[in-house]
Structure 1
């Protein structure tokens, strides 16, 4: 495994991280989820990402239980706050009340004294950014949170938050968690990468394999494998947006290109994401330990300028792909 600094902070995270969205606590049995987490740790992955909203806290419980086996200082544990955790008017968003209360709830579910990276899961237009940033700073001062970040904020929102933090003398945000893969590249087009770099923030990207489409398991003109995420009614809502014939045809061409350099499509897709210097970690999901064993090999794969040019030519066929945001 290789490690990169999280933005300009001193924290180092594995180039491949393990996430729990749509898997742990939901579609993957607890025993299998624990096996995946243990395999990831054994392979050198130190960055583990979850969120309070993933299956209403169940993913945090699974992640925390599995990581109990290891020395707390040996891994980086990330979770998030924003989405509704109840029906009440204050049980969602980024108000001080919701952030503080959900941090305490996440700590209990995770079974830990502190969260390494606490992230705002989305932008909250109904709460002043200053209120959100002060709450995060207070949690950091209390030692309950070590670093703070955001997810899916625009370049303008990132710049505004950084300006407020500097004006108030608050600890800076160190990361952004956007969707980023060969099909969904808005962070390149909409200056998110540039804004983040200016403010010292690293990207910990999710869905780098486009919900499994960039693994080669889904083929154009063929039925969806019965044991896949796309065939599971609990998890196929997101992946369905990728299940287009043109997208699957492009994935097949990319798989052929990957084979030409001795790599699997998933390794190729992850190496493509990691080619971006602003990316600190690519977060994968996994329902089997063998998937993690294959994916971590991506950190050794270097893509030449010629291969990258061929990749762009293939991807040009789906430039109008609509983002999942």
Structure 2
């Protein structure tokens, strides 16, 4: 397993386990098995959110509770890195964003209780609230950090412009800036239909360069491109389900698929090595967040977690 190098106070594996469905769509038993396998494979980063699966069922807090119960039963809290997200409530697919000091303070206490811990390693704002001044938001996050219950603060699905403004304000006033961004980041060309959610963001050139220049690390959700490249290589593009092709199949992504096929044949590696390696070997320090529906998917990812994808290959994929 590889680990983020530019963060010293928290050991963050470059593969992160996404647990959105744990405790709801994924049973507690299977969730525990996946967490055990991930942990035994050297994984430390476990990613969740306060509102996961609240949008489809009574899932608010269930993922956190499942993780907390697992950590308690295994006695491993000090050996893992917990990332959770705050600031959002759902009623169905309607999002209600509230980044007030009162709300974020309340959610932090709820997350701590659910996770059965006294601190959060990485605390992320799940969405931005553009109407609220970034100065107020960064001061609230500073307040939470100074309470000693949060180690690293970050933002999920924030635009470059808002993140830059927030961090410049933090630096100017001697506060803790956002040290990480969680966003759509993968080797696939992004298009809106991939996520169909105007509240989400993807890694763009401005954000990428800013993060490198400011010693930040990225948290890449949907890092596996929904398995599009792996399925297309293994089963043929014609056998990939139509919904997935609608989300991923573009002219550029088909060129990338062709490159991946040739690269895997020439280097005797699996497509997962390339897809994961694009993040874990990237010049920008990053962790590839993965969500698995069964043990075999997680086993495949862990088998490839140490693969070093050459920077030349990453540059070629970016240029296609």
Q: Do Structure 1 and Structure 2 share a fold, with TM-score over 0.5?
A: yes
Greater relative CO (CA pairs within 8 A, separation 6+) = 1
For the Cα contact (< 8 Å) 2:47–2:83, is it kept in 1?
yes
Instruction: Tell me what 2:283 maps to.
Output: 277
For the Cα contact (< 8 Å) 1:20–1:59, is it kept in 2?
yes
For 1:223 and 1:281, the matched residues in 2 are separated by 26
Helix, strand or coil for the counterpart of 1:28? coil
Is 1:61 the counterpart of 2:65? The answer is: yes
Which runs of no fewer than 5 residues in structure 1 stay unpaired? 225-229, 231-235, 317-325
Is 1:151 the counterpart of 2:156? The answer is: yes
CA distance 1:93–1:259, change in 2 (3 Å) = farther
For the Cα contact (< 8 Å) 2:188–2:248, is it kept in 1?
no
Higher deviation after alignment, 245-254 or 264-273? 245-254
Instruction: Tell me what 2:300 maps to.
Output: 294
CA deviation vs aligned residue, 1:198-233 (integer Å, no higher than 9, x gap)? 333211211111122133267422264xxxxx9xxx
For 2:314 and 2:181, the matched residues in 1 are separated by 25
Is 1:220 the counterpart of 2:237? The answer is: yes
Instruction: Tell me what 2:267 maps to.
Output: 261
For the Cα contact (< 8 Å) 1:19–1:50, is it kept in 2?
yes
Offset of 1:195 from its aligned partner?
A: 1.4
Helix, strand or coil for the counterpart of 1:51? coil
For the Cα contact (< 8 Å) 1:155–1:196, is it kept in 2?
no
Is 1:140 the counterpart of 2:145? The answer is: yes
Identify the match of residue 49 of structure 2 among 48, 51, 73: 51
Q: How many residues align?
A: 299
For 1:171 and 1:243, the matched residues in 2 are separated by 37
| Match runs of 1:1-325 below 5 Å | 1-5=1-5, 7=6, 10-21=9-20, 23-56=21-54, 57-68=61-72, 69-85=74-90, 92-184=97-189, 189-216=204-231, 219-222=236-239, 224=241, 241-242=246-247, 244=249, 251=257, 254-304=260-310, 307-308=313-314, 311=317, 316=320
For 1:177 and 1:305, the matched residues in 2 are separated by 22
The alignment's C-alpha RMSD in Å is 2.9
For the Cα contact (< 8 Å) 1:155–1:190, is it kept in 2?
no
For the Cα contact (< 8 Å) 1:150–1:176, is it kept in 2?
yes
Offset of 1:292 from its aligned partner?
A: 2.2
CA distance 1:95–1:184, change in 2 (3 Å) = farther
For 1:306 and 1:126, the matched residues in 2 are separated by 42
Offset of 1:33 from its aligned partner?
A: 1.5
CA distance 1:75–1:223, change in 2 (3 Å) = closer
Offset of 1:114 from its aligned partner?
A: 1.2
Offset of 1:277 from its aligned partner?
A: 2.1
Offset of 1:11 from its aligned partner?
A: 2.6
Offset of 1:101 from its aligned partner?
A: 1.2
Offset of 1:253 from its aligned partner?
A: 5.8
CA distance 1:63–1:259, change in 2 (3 Å) = farther
For 1:257 and 1:302, the matched residues in 2 are separated by 13
For the Cα contact (< 8 Å) 1:180–1:208, is it kept in 2?
yes
CA distance 1:153–1:292, change in 2 (3 Å) = same
Which runs of no fewer than 5 residues in structure 2 stay unpaired? 55-60, 191-200
